[in-house]
Structure 1
Amino acid sequence: MKHLFPLAFLMLFVFSGTISAQETWDLQKCINYALENNIQIQQQSINTDYYGNELKQAKKNLLPSVSGGLSNSFNFGRTLQYDNTYANYNSNQTNGNLSANVTLWNGFTLQNSIDKADLDLKASLADLQKAKDDIMLFIAASYLEILFAEELVQVAEDQMEVTKLQIERTRKLVDAGSLAKGSLLEIEAQLAGEELNLVNQQNSLQLAYLNLYQLLELPSTEQFKIAEPVLPVVKANGTLLNSMQVFRNAVNIRPEVKSAEYRLGSSKEQVAIAKGSLYPSVSFGADYYNSYNNKYEDLVGDKISFNDQLKNNERYGVGVNMRIPIFSKGQVRTQIKNAELQVLNQELELQSTKNVLRKEIEQAYTNALAALKKYMASNKAVESMQEAFRYTEEKFNVGMVNSVEYNQSKNNLAKAKSDLAQAKYDYIFRTKILDFYNGEIIEL
C-alpha cells in the first residue's frame, strides 16, 4: 500500500500530460466529427440514397420502353427461299427487330408510384435527421459527463489540499504537546483515503473520455481534451419552457413525427396503386423488323443484294393495346384490403410516435424541474457545510473537537459539493433537451 499511491499518481500524471498535449475539441467539433463518421448515420445515409434511386426510377417509368433484337442462324437442308418455295442448300440468315412501348393510362398507377416513392424518400431523410439528432444528444450528454467528472476531480484535489494543510497544523500542535499523536495519525489516514478517492475520480474521468471517443468512432489512442465552455448560470428564479408548449412546437418540427406522417401518406398512395389494378390499362406500341439471307436470289437467279433485301424485307407497325382486368382470383381485392390495413397501422404508428414524444418531453421537463430544485437545495447545503466546516476546523485547531468530527465535517462538505455539481450538470442537460425539442441547436 505504501507504493500504491505514488505509482497511481505517476500514472495519472502521465495520463494528464498526454491529454494536455493533445488538441482541444469543443462540443460543436465533436458533433461535426460524429455526424461525418458515425456508422449508424452512414448506414441511414445509404438507405436514403436507396430511396432516392427508387424515386428516380418511378419517374423514369413514365418514359417509353425501347428494345431491340438481333439474331443469326445457319440453315441446312430444305430451306424456305425468297420466292416462298423450298430448296436444299445451306444458308446464313440474320434477323433484326426494334420495338417501343409507352403506357398511356393505367389507373394513375405510375403517378401514384412516383408520389409514394417521393414520400418514402422524405421519410428516409427524416429518419436520417433523427439519427443525427440522437447522436448530437448523446455527444452532448457525454461532453457534460466529462465536465462533471473534471469537477469531481477538482473537488477531490481541493479536499486533499485542505487535509494536507491540516496535517501540517496538527503536526505542529502534536510537536508542541497540545494534541495527542493519534489525532495526526487519523488525519493522515484520512489523506490516504482521499488519495484513493482522487484516483477513482481520475479513473471516472478517463472512462468518460473513453465513452466520448467510442461515440465518435474514434480510437482511444487519438486523444484530445474537451474545451471548457462557459456554462449557463443556474438561477433560482429561472423559468422552464412549459412541457405542453414544447410539445406543440416539437410535434410540428421533430423528424420522427415527420417520418411517421410521410409513411402514412406512402401507405395511402399504396392503396391508390392497388386500386389502379382494377382499371383497364392503355398503351401505345411500335415495332420494326428486317432480315437478310446470304442465299436469296431473284426470279432470274441473280443474288439479291444486302440493301435490296433490307428494303424488301422490312416490316413496321404501330398500334394501341388495351388490357382489361376481368378476373384475377381475388388478388387485387386482397391487395387493396391489405394496403388499407397498412394505412390503419401507420395511423396508429403516427399516434404512438406523438405519444412517445410527449412522454419524453414531459419526462425531460420533470427531470429538469427536479434537478433545479436539487441544485438550489444543494447550493444551500454547500453554503451551510462550508460554514459548519469552517467552525469545526477552528475548534479542531484549538483541540475542542477530535479528528473524527473534523473529518466527518470535511466529508460532508465534499459530498455536498459533489451533489451540487451533479445537480448542475443534470439541470443543464435536461434544459438542453427541452431546447432541442423546441427546435434550438445544442450549444454550450
Structure 2
Amino acid sequence: MNKKIVFTVVFLAFCALASAQDTSWSLTRCMETALKNNIEIKIGQLEIKRTQKSQNSVLNRMLPTINLYAEQGYNFGSTIDPSTNGRVSSNIQNNNFYLNARTNLIDFSAFANAQKDKINIEQAQAEKEVLENEYKLQLLESYYQALYTQELSKIQKEQLRQASFNLDRVAKEVTIGSKPQSDLYDMQLSFSEEENRNLETEQLCAIKKTELFQLMNVTDVATNDVVLEPYLKERTKDSDNELYNPKIKLAELNYQNSLKLIRLERTSNYPILSAYYGYSTFYYKNIKQENANTDSFFNQLEDNKSQQVGMQLSVPIFNGFRNNKKISASKIVGDKAKLVIEQEKQLLDKQVVLEEQNKRNYSQLQHKLMEKQKFAKSSLATTQAKFTSGKVEAIVYSSVKNQSLSAEYDVLKNNLQLEYIDLKINLLKYNYL
C-alpha cells in the first residue's frame, strides 16, 4: 500500500514538473521554435538547396555533349538518287541517322562560371542568415515587451493583495470608530484605481504574449498560461569575437560575385578550342520501283556509314564592341557593390553606437533608480506605521505607496532594458545572443 502511495506521489510530481516546463518559455526556446516555424527561412533553405543542385563543376562543364538524330523523309517527283547522286523522276524514301559528340578542351568561361556558382551558394546562405538575423531582432523586441508586462503584472498583483488587506483593515477600524469615514472612501478609491491598473496590465500582457506567439507561428499554446523566463545569462562585456553581421557578409559576397561577373564577360574575348566526332549513315528506297535491286536496310546502313573527327579553334576578332560594353557595365556593377559594403558598415556602426549610448545611459540611471527604490521602500514603511497609528491620512499613505510602486516599476524596466540592449548588440555585431 505504501509503495502505491509513493508511486502516485512521484507520478503526480513528475506530471506537475512536466506541465510547468511546458508552460515555461525561455528566450532560447522561443528563438529555436520560431526559427523552425518561420516560412521565409524555410524558403531560404530551399533556395540554398536549389543553388547547390544548380552548381556545375569545371569537369562537368568540360564533359562532351552527345546527340543522336534520326530522320525519315519522302521525296516525290524529281529528286536526287542517293545511290548515284543524280536527278531522277521517282519517289524516294530516306532514313538518315547522325551521332554527334563535341567537347571544349580549352574554355575559360567554364572556370569563371564554376567559381561564380560557388559564390552563388554562399550568397544564398548569407541571404538566409540575413532573414534569420532580422527575425531574431523582431522576436527579441517582442519577447522583452511581453516579459516586461508579465513582471509588471506580478508587482501589481502583490500590491493589490496588500491594498486589499489595508482596505479590509480600514473598514474594520471605521466600523469601530477609530478612523473617519473619509479614510475608507480614500482607500476604496485607491483600491479601485489599483484594480483598474492591474486589469489593464493583465490585458496588455495577454496581447503581448499573443503577439509573441503569433510572430513565432505557434497556435497550439494557451498564451494565458505561458510564463516567460528572464534571460539569466550574465550581461556581456566588450567581446573579442570577430565582427560578423549577415548584411555585411551578403554585401561582400555580392561584390565578389560582381568581380567574377567581370571575369566571365572577359572570357568572351578568349579563344575556345573544341574537339568533335560525328557518325552518320542512311537508308534509301525507291517507292515506285517495287522490284528494284535495293540493298537491305542493315546492309545499306553498313555500306553508307561515314565518320568525322576534328578539332576547332574559335578566336573572337570583332563583335561590334558588345563585349567591351558588357565588361564596362559589369565594372560599374562592381563599384556599386563595393559602395554597398561601406554603406552597410556605416549603418551598422551608427546603430551600434546608438545602442551602446543607450546602454551607458541606462547603466548610469540604474544606481539612481535603485537608490530611489530604497528610499521609497523606507518611506512606505514609516508611512505605513504612521497610517496604522492614525498619524497620517489615507490619501497621504496612498500617495507614498504609489511612489514606491513607481520606483519599483522603474528599476524593473531599466534592468530589462539593459538585458534587451545587450542581446540586441550581440545580434547586430555577432549574430548570436
Tell me which residue corresponds to 1:12: none
Among candidates 399, 423, 428, match of residue 408 of structure 1: 399
Structure 1 residue 233, shift from structure 2 partner? 6.5
Answer with 352-361 or 424-433: which moved more. Answer: 352-361
Cα pair 2:352 2:428 within 8 Å, conserved: yes
Structure 1 residue 440, shift from structure 2 partner? 7.7
Answer with 406-415 or 395-404: which moved more. Answer: 395-404
Structure 1 residue 183, shift from structure 2 partner? 1.1
> Structure 1 pair 230/355, CA: closer, same or farther in 2 (3 Å)?
closer
1:398 aligns with 2:389: yes
Cα distance in 1 for partners of 2:168, 2:100 equals 101
Tell me which residue corresponds to 1:354: 345
Q: TM-score, normalised by structure 2?
A: 0.86
1:206 aligns with 2:206: yes
Structure 1 residue 383, shift from structure 2 partner? 1.2
Q: TM-score, normalised by structure 1?
A: 0.84
Cα pair 1:170 1:183 within 8 Å, conserved: yes
Answer with 213-222 or 303-312: which moved more. Answer: 213-222
Structure 1 residue 53, shift from structure 2 partner? 3.6
Q: Aligned letter for 2:260?
A: E
Tell me which residue corresponds to 1:218: 218
Cα pair 1:210 1:220 within 8 Å, conserved: no
Cα distance in 2 for partners of 1:427, 1:220 equals 32
Cα pair 1:297 1:303 within 8 Å, conserved: no
Among candidates 241, 247, 252, match of residue 238 of structure 2: 241
Cα pair 1:296 1:303 within 8 Å, conserved: no
Cα pair 2:245 2:431 within 8 Å, conserved: no
Tell me which residue corresponds to 1:41: 41
Structure 1 residue 292, shift from structure 2 partner? 1.5
Cα pair 2:370 2:411 within 8 Å, conserved: yes
Cα distance in 2 for partners of 1:189, 1:441 equals 48
Tell me which residue corresponds to 1:331: 322
Structure 1 residue 142, shift from structure 2 partner? 2.6
Structure 1 residue 439, shift from structure 2 partner? 4.0
Cα pair 2:91 2:288 within 8 Å, conserved: no
Structure 1 residue 117, shift from structure 2 partner? 1.9
Share of identical aligned residues, percent?
Answer: 20
Structure 1 residue 129, shift from structure 2 partner? 1.9
Cα pair 2:27 2:231 within 8 Å, conserved: no
Cα distance in 1 for partners of 2:427, 2:24 equals 25
> What is the correspondence of 1:165-180 to structure 2 with a 5 Å cutoff?
165-180=165-180
Answer with 78-87 or 220-229: which moved more. Answer: 220-229
Structure 1 unaligned regions, length at least 5:
1-18
Cα distance in 2 for partners of 1:425, 1:155 equals 15
Cα pair 2:116 2:257 within 8 Å, conserved: yes
Tell me which residue corresponds to 1:105: 106
Q: Equivalent residue of 2:293, what SS?
A: coil
Q: Aligned letter for 1:397?
A: T
Q: Equivalent residue of 2:270, what SS?
A: coil
Cα pair 2:140 2:424 within 8 Å, conserved: no
Cα pair 2:281 2:305 within 8 Å, conserved: yes
Q: Aligned letter for 1:398?
A: S
Tell me which residue corresponds to 1:121: 121
Q: Aligned letter for 1:365?
A: E
Q: Aligned letter for 1:105?
A: I
Tell me which residue corresponds to 1:94: 95
Structure 2 unaligned regions, length at least 5:
1-18
Tell me which residue corresponds to 1:3: none
Cα pair 1:284 1:320 within 8 Å, conserved: yes
Cα distance in 2 for partners of 1:23, 1:240 equals 32
Q: Aligned letter for 1:36?
A: K
Cα distance in 2 for partners of 1:221, 1:436 equals 27
Q: Equivalent residue of 1:319, what SS?
A: strand
Cα distance in 2 for partners of 1:233, 1:112 equals 48
1:424 aligns with 2:415: yes
1:78 aligns with 2:78: yes
Q: C-alpha root-mean-square deviation of aligned residues, in Å? A: 2.8
Structure 1 residue 437, shift from structure 2 partner? 4.9
Q: Aligned letter for 2:268?
A: S
Structure 1 residue 138, shift from structure 2 partner? 2.9
> What is the correspondence of 1:299-310 to structure 2 with a 5 Å cutoff?
301-310=292-301
Cα distance in 2 for partners of 1:389, 1:286 equals 99
Cα distance in 2 for partners of 1:256, 1:267 equals 17
Q: Aligned letter for 2:337?
A: Q
